[in-house]
Structure 1
Amino acid sequence: MLFSRRSSCLTLAACLVAPRVAFAQAPSPAAIADYEAKLKKYEQARAAYDAVADTYWDQVTEKRRTRNAKRRERVAVTIDDYVLTQPPQYSGPPRPADPFGRPPPSEQPPIPVIADFLKAAADQFGFVPDRPQNDADFKRAYARAGLAAGLTREQIIGVYAFETGGNGTYDMQAGVTPTRPNAISPAVGYNQLLSTNTVSLLAEFGERYLAALRMKALPMRGEAKRVFERKIEAFKRMIAYSRSVPQRWSEQDKLAKTTRGGWGVHAAVLDIDIGPMLQVQKLINSVHFAKMKGYTAPLTPAELEAMNLTGDGNGFDIVSMPHAYRDRVPTANFFQQRGYERNPVARRTGVVANLLADMEAKMARGAQSPGARELASAF
Structure 2
Amino acid sequence: MTLACAMLAIATWFNTPTAHAAYRDLTKQQTLYREKLAEYAKALAAYEDLAGPYWKSITEKRSRRRARHSFQNIAANDYVLKQPPVYSGPPKPENPEGATSAEKAVPVVADFLREAKAQFDFVPDTPATENDYKRAYAAAARAAGLTAEQCVRIYAFESGGDGTYDVQAGLEYDVPGARAVSTALGYNQLLGTNSVELLAEAGDEFVSALRRKANAANGVRKDALLSKIDTLKKMIAFSRSVPDRWNAHARLADTPKGIGIHALNLDVDIGPLLQVRKLLTSVEFAKRYDFDAPLSAAELEMMNLTGDGNGFEMVLMSKDLRDKIPTSNFFQRGGYERNPVAGVNNTVAKLIAATNAKMDSEAQLQGAKALAALFEEF
Say yes or no: TM over 0.5: yes
Which residues of 2 match residues 80-229 of structure 1 at below 5 A?
80-100=77-97, 102-103=98-99, 105=101, 109-176=104-171, 177-179=173-175, 180-229=177-226
Contact 2:184/2:191, CA 8 A, preserved across alignment: yes
Amino acid at match of 1:340: Y
Cα-Cα RMSD: 2.3
Q: 1:363 aligns with which of 356, 359, 362?
A: 359
Matched residue SS, 1:171: coil
TM-score by length of 1: 0.91
Contact 2:199/2:239, CA 8 A, preserved across alignment: yes
Which residues of 2 match residues 206-285 of structure 1 at below 5 A?
206-257=203-254, 259-285=255-281
Hey, what does 1:329 align to over in structure 2?
325
- Structure 1 Cα separation of the partners of residues 271 and 22 of structure 2: 50
Structure 1: give runs of 5+ residues left out of the alignment: 1-6
Q: 1:374 aligns with which of 338, 363, 370?
A: 370
- Structure 1 Cα separation of the partners of residues 145 and 266 of structure 2: 22
- Structure 2 Cα separation of the partners of residues 147 and 37 of structure 1: 60
Give identity over the alignment, percent.
50
Offset of residue 13 of structure 1: 11
Note closer, same or farther for the CA distance 1:104–1:300 as it changes in structure 2 (3 Å cut): farther
Offset of residue 168 of structure 1: 0.9
Matched residue SS, 1:214: helix
Superposed CA deviations along residues 13-43 of structure 1, whole A, max 9, x for unmatched, are 9945975897665454443333222212211
Q: 1:69 aligns with which of 64, 67, 70?
A: 67
Matched residue SS, 1:185: coil
Contact 1:70/1:76, CA 8 A, preserved across alignment: no
Contact 1:127/1:235, CA 8 A, preserved across alignment: no
Offset of residue 272 of structure 1: 0.5
Q: 2:336 aligns with which of 340, 356, 359?
A: 340
- Structure 2 Cα separation of the partners of residues 14 and 202 of structure 1: 63
Offset of residue 263 of structure 1: 0.2
Note closer, same or farther for the CA distance 1:352–1:75 as it changes in structure 2 (3 Å cut): closer
Offset of residue 181 of structure 1: 4.6
Note closer, same or farther for the CA distance 1:320–1:31 as it changes in structure 2 (3 Å cut): same
Aligned length in residues: 368
Contact 1:128/1:231, CA 8 A, preserved across alignment: no
Matched residue SS, 1:161: helix
Contact 2:168/2:184, CA 8 A, preserved across alignment: yes
Superposed CA deviations along residues 86-141 of structure 1, whole A, max 9, x for unmatched, are 111111122222132x21656x6211000000000000001111000111110011
- Structure 2 Cα separation of the partners of residues 157 and 149 of structure 1: 15
- Structure 1 Cα separation of the partners of residues 276 and 215 of structure 2: 23
Contact 1:307/1:314, CA 8 A, preserved across alignment: yes
Hey, what does 1:318 align to over in structure 2?
314
Matched residue SS, 2:248: helix
Deviation beyond 6 Å, 4+ runs, structure 1:
20-24
- Structure 1 Cα separation of the partners of residues 110 and 84 of structure 2: 37
